[in-house]
């Protein structure tokens, strides 16, 4: 209705415009370009702050003149404390700006990021900024763990043998830390498997011990639990904050508010581009974008004209394709189950390849299945954008669920999660083959991290490099069809998010894993940069930087949930191993918290009791749902208001043209 009414008005508007050209020139122009700052009065000059001065559209000379006037104007009698306050504000702002500029110069990798943005655009640069972000997250984790856990444990170093707890069984205490019988070849293998010297170092949970009758006030058990949980909670809050910042932009991109075509013309060309090939590619992708949009319009018209039979056929096809995808994923899960069983058969004496079987199978599944997803998505008959997004969602689900399934089967085997009454598990509460099961799980996480780094290396040098050489030097049809590799940002981000999920899951079992993660990310940055510059061509799909932030945060959040769920289960319900580690004499690691709290005063205990009781939680939930209802109804009211204002705007436009018509007629009829 709105578009029709506007179209009707355009014709009389265009007619009237020819008559009323003179009148419009006489009307005052509220144009920012013609507003000259010299016309501002003296009183308004005084009110100009530095910020407003910067945003004025006049030349630097005029701005300098104005700011000089501002600084030396003594026309008005002001109290001395006002000028002092102004001077202090200005000095403080200058200090802030100085610090901000200095921080911008000292950033890590600033030169590399600028170079990548200049050549490949902000979309690909966002991947590298994301890498930098993850580096800082892991570095923070490493710092926390070293300060709160590692240092106290090394200071109160306990070399005595383990005190047996009250319910210790002999069979559950069969853990030796003897590494003298290992050859040098085995020592080399240990770097990859985490056995031997590494197993008994501070890398893994097993080596952390404190004396039971510790006279210090520092409760290491509590520190271990709370620092890890606190760090995960802080990461969650921080990701949430970043998500909400980009959520507003994402909401604006919804179709109700989206002036898509118009913004595309004015904002899609990246002014940073300096190389001719990238310029050509950019121009081609803009051209493709327009073509796709125009094709989309015809597609929408065709869609409206689809018969019922065609529609039902299409839905059946889509259902079939989703079924096939689920089947493929189930097959992948079964393969992972088999690989886990094989690799856990005889943990101590199997070869390195055997031990790396689960990460290998997971990687193969994550490389092969996306190709199939991509091919299947093309059969579904959706628009290209939907196709890309759908494939991405499926790949994300695949990556996180393969990891989750691996953790599930590992837990099933090592912790007897489903079969508590089997003969191996009844005695100790966990599978007695794994005397120090936390270290064992930590080793699995360590192997996965090392394997992901090796995969990155292998892909860079064994796949991208030959592909580039082939494309450059050979002229056969295959080489031409393959071409150089394209740097696909979403898939690379998925890889790095999966690696980060592994690090988050393993942080309880392998406390120094974040530091290893830092090293891996640092090296990955340079490897990916090398791959990008040497072996890749800029992608023909323009990846928008604005979509990327929200997407990355969601992926990271899902990874964090997976890690937190598995950690929460382990901390609250599994019996810690008895011969090693900090929590040997507790029934679950979480028991350290109530034990520490029992030392608090009675009033504090009363408050805590009330805060964790059912009534309080219920009241809190009621309050939160009330606040949520208020916000939701406010959002709905705002939406209705926007609709109303849109209608009002159309009516105002119609009124304006009526009035202009009347005025023209009057003026034309003047004698």
Partner 1 sequence: MDYKRDPGVTVPMQLIINMPELQENPFKERIVQSFSEDGEGNLSFNDFVDMFSVLSETAPRELKAIYAFKIYDFNSDNFICKSDLEQTLNKLTKEDLTEEEVMLVCEKVIDEADMDADGKLGFTDFENMISKAPDFLSTFHIRI
Residues of this chain that interact with partner 1 (CB under 8 A) are: 3, 6, 9-10, 13-14, 17, 29-34, 51, 54-57, 59-61, 114, 117-118, 122, 249, 252-253, 257-263, 265-276, 278-279, 283, 286-287, 290-291, 293-294, 544-546, 649, 653, 656-657
Q: What burial letters (b/e) apply to 266-288, b meaning 16+ CB within 10 Å?
A: eeeebeebeeeebeebbeebbee
Q: If you ran DSSP here, which 8-state letter would residue 485 be given? A: E
Q: Considering beta carbons, is residue 14 or 170 the nearer one to partner 1?
A: 14
Q: Considering beta carbons, is residue 33 or 477 the nearer one to partner 1?
A: 33
Rounded-to-integer distance, Cα 97 and Cα 100, Å: 5
Smallest gap from Cβ 638 to partner 1, in A, equals: 16
What tokens were used for 189?
């293998």
What tokens were used for 489?
């940002």
User: Is 434 within 8 Å of 400 (Cβ atoms)?
Assistant: no
Smallest gap from Cβ 117 to partner 1, in A, equals: 7
Q: Considering beta carbons, is residue 291 or 306 the nearer one to partner 1?
A: 291
Chain length of the chain? 671
Smallest gap from Cβ 396 to partner 1, in A, equals: 23
Q: Is 486 helix (H, G, I), strand (E, B) or coil?
A: strand
Q: Considering beta carbons, is residue 83 or 94 the nearer one to partner 1?
A: 94
Q: What residues does 485 pair with on adjacent strands?
A: 536
Smallest gap from Cβ 303 to partner 1, in A, equals: 19
Smallest gap from Cβ 270 to partner 1, in A, equals: 5
Smallest gap from Cβ 5 to partner 1, in A, equals: 9
What phi, psi does 486 have (nearest 5°)?
-100, 140
Smallest gap from Cβ 206 to partner 1, in A, equals: 48
Nearest Cα to Cα of residue 329 among 409, 407, 399, 381: 399
Q: Considering beta carbons, is residue 9 or 86 the nearer one to partner 1?
A: 9
What DSSP element (H or E) covers 536? strand 536-537
What tokens were used for 323?
């079924």
What phi, psi does 485 have (nearest 5°)?
-70, 145
Rounded-to-integer distance, Cα 543 and Cα 566, Å: 33
Q: Considering beta carbons, is residue 548 or 578 the nearer one to partner 1?
A: 548
Q: If you ran DSSP here, which 8-state letter would residue 152 be given? A: H
Q: Considering beta carbons, is residue 94 or 424 the nearer one to partner 1?
A: 94
Q: Considering beta carbons, is residue 117 or 438 the nearer one to partner 1?
A: 117
Give 619: exposed, middle or buried? Use CB within 10 Å, 0-12, 13-18, 19+: exposed
Rounded-to-integer distance, Cα 509 and Cα 432, Å: 18
Q: Considering beta carbons, is residue 554 or 653 the nearer one to partner 1?
A: 653
Q: Considering beta carbons, is residue 179 or 272 the nearer one to partner 1?
A: 272
Q: Considering beta carbons, is residue 259 or 671 the nearer one to partner 1?
A: 259
Half-sphere exposure of 310 (CA within 13 A, CB side): 7
Cα separations (Å) of 633 from 384, 622, 638, 643?
35, 17, 9, 16
Q: Considering beta carbons, is residue 122 or 381 the nearer one to partner 1?
A: 122
* Torsional sign, CA 480, 127, 498, 525: positive
What tokens were used for 426?
């009844």
User: Is 202 within 8 Å of 208 (Cβ atoms)?
Assistant: yes
Mind giving me the DSSP string for 620-646?
HHHHHHHHHHHHHHHHHHHHHHHHHHH
Cα separations (Å) of 114 from 131, 272, 544, 651?
15, 10, 17, 48
Q: 384-414 vs 308-343: helix axis angle to the nearest 10?
A: 30
Give 123: exposed, middle or buried? Use CB within 10 Å, 0-12, 13-18, 19+: buried
| Residues 6 or more apart in contact with residue 385 via CB below 8 angstroms | 292
Q: Considering beta carbons, is residue 275 or 540 the nearer one to partner 1?
A: 275
């Amino acid at each position: 209705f709105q578009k029709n009414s506007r179209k009707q008005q355009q014709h009389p508007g265009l007619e009237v415009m020819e008559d009323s050209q003179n009148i419009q020139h006489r009307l005052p122009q509220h144009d920012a370009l013609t507003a000259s700052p010299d016309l501002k009065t003296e009183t308004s000059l005084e009110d100009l702050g530095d910020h407003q001065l910067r945003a004025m559209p006049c030349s630097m000379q005029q701005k300098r003149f104005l700011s000089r006037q501002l600084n030396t104007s003594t026309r008005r009698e002001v109290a001395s404390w006002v000028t002092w306050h102004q001077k202090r504000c200005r000095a403080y702002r200058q200090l802030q700006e100085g610090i901000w500029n200095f921080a911008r110069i000292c950033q890590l990798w600033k030169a590399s990021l600028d170079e990548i943005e200049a050549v490949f655009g902000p979309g690909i640069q966002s991947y590298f900024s994301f890498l930098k972000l993850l580096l800082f997250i892991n570095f923070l984790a490493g710092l926390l763990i070293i300060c709160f856990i590692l240092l106290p444990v090394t200071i109160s170093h306990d070399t005595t043998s383990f005190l047996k707890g009250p319910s210790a069984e002999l069979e559950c205490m069969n853990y030796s830390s003897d590494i003298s019988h290992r050859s040098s070849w085995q020592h080399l293998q240990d770097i990859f498997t985490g056995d031997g010297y590494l197993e008994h170092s501070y890398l893994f949970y097993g080596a952390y011990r404190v004396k039971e009758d510790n006279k210090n006030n520092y409760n290491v058990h509590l520190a271990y639990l709370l620092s890890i949980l606190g760090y995960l909670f802080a990461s969650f809050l921080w990701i949430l904050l970043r998500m909400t910042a980009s959520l507003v932009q994402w909401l604006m991109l919804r179709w109700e508010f989206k002036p898509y075509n118009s913004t595309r013309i004015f904002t899609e060309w990246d002014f940073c581009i300096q190389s001719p090939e990238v310029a050509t590619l950019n121009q081609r992708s803009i051209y493709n974008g327009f073509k796709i949009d125009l094709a989309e319009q015809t597609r929408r018209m065709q869609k409206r004209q689809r018969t019922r039979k065609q529609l039902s056929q299409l839905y059946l096809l889509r259902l079939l394709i989703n079924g096939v995808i689920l089947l493929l994923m189930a097959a992948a899960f079964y393969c992972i189950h088999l690989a886990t069983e094989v690799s856990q058969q005889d943990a101590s004496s199997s070869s390195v390849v055997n031990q790396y079987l689960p990460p290998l199978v997971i990687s193969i599944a994550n490389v092969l299945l996306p190709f199939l997803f991509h091919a299947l998505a093309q059969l579904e008959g959706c628009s290209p954008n939907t196709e890309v997004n759908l494939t991405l969602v499926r790949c994300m689900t695949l990556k996180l669920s393969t990891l989750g399934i691996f953790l599930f089967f590992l837990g099933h085997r090592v912790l007897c999660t489903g079969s508590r009454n089997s003969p191996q598990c009844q005695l100790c509460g966990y599978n007695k083959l794994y005397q120090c099961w936390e270290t064992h799980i930590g080793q699995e996480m360590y192997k996965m991290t090392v394997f992901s780094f090796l995969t990155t290396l292998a892909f860079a040098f064994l796949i991208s490099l030959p592909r580039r050489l082939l494309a450059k030097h050979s002229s056969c049809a295959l080489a031409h069809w393959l071409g150089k590799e394209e740097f696909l940002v979403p898939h690379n981000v998925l890889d790095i998010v999966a690696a980060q999920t592994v690090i988050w899951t393993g942080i309880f079992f392998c406390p120094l894993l974040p530091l290893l993660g830092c090293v891996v990310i640092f090296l990955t940055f340079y490897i990916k940069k090398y791959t990008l510059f040497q072996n890749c061509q800029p992608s023909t799909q323009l990846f928008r930087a604005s979509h990327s932030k929200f997407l990355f945060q969601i992926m990271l959040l899902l990874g964090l949930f997976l890690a937190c769920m598995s950690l929460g289960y382990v901390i609250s319900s599994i019996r810690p191993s008895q011969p090693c580690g900090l929590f040997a004499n507790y029934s679950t690691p979480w028991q350290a918290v109530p034990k520490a709290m029992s030392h608090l005063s009675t009033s504090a205990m009363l408050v805590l009791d009330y805060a964790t009781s059912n009534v309080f939680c219920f009241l809190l939930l009621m309050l939160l749902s009330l606040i949520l209802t208020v916000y939701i109804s406010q959002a709905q009211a705002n939406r209705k208001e926007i609709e109303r204002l849109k209608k009002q705007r159309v009516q105002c436009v119609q009124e304006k043209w009526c009035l202009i018509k009347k005025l023209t007629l009057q003026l034309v009829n003047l004698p």
